[in-house]
């Protein structure tokens, strides 16, 4: 266990559904991240939150909507997804709100399948 917990582990949703992915970290970190890992591309950064403020949005479609209510929790709200959005969605956290120069701890990921 890395101290970063993601739920659910697996999710199947239709293109018209709305669902949310949850991430929780118990490490006292103040930065959290969403990454996408698909079968055709390496790990892609989606969003960065530092001190609960979004500091980076890496050209992600608006059908993905992140939320960071506090430094321990991060959500990714999903709606009207496409089949190509099927992937492993990884949450990570790290210490430091500036330029990242410490390791990131990853959760186990949520495997999302859009049908």
Partner 1 sequence: GENVGLHLPTLSVQEGDNSIINCAYSNSASDYFIWYKQESGKGPQFIIDIRSNMDKRQGQRVTVLLNKTVKHLSLQIAATQPGDSAVYFCAENRVDTGRRALTFGSGTRLQVQP
Taking the complex as a whole, how short is the minimal distance between the CB of residue 99 and partner 1, in angstroms?
6
- Per DSSP (E only), the strands in 8-79 are 10-13, 18-25, 31-37, 44-50, 53-57, 64-70, 73-79
State yes or no: residue 109 binds partner 1 (CB under 8 A): yes
State yes or no: residue 88 binds partner 1 (CB under 8 A): yes
CA separation for the pair 111, 115 (Å, rounded): 13
State yes or no: residue 107 binds partner 1 (CB under 8 A): yes
Taking the complex as a whole, how short is the minimal distance between the CB of residue 36 and partner 1, in angstroms?
10
- In the three-class reduction of DSSP (H, G, I as helix; E, B as strand; rest coil), residue 25 is classed as strand
Closer by beta carbon to partner 1, 65 or else 108: 108
Closer by beta carbon to partner 1, 16 or else 56: 56
Range in contact with partner 1 (rule: CB under 8 A) among 14-22, 60-68, 74-82, 95-103: 95-103
Query: Backbone phi, then psi, for 96, in 5-degree steps?
Result: 110, 135
């Amino acid at each position: 266990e890395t101290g970063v917990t993601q739920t659910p582990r697996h999710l199947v949703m239709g293109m018209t559904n709305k669902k949310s992915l949850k991430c929780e970290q118990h490490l006292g970190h103040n930065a959290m991240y969403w990454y996408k890992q698909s079968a055709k591309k390496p790990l892609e950064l989606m969003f960065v939150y530092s001190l609960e403020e979004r500091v980076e949005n890496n050209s992600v479609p608006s059908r993905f909507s992140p939320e960071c209510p506090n430094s321990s929790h991060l959500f990714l709200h999903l709606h009207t997804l496409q089949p190509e959005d099927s992937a492993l969605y990884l949450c990570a956290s790290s210490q430091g709100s500036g330029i990242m120069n410490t390791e990131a701890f990853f959760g186990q990921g949520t495997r999302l399948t859009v049908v």
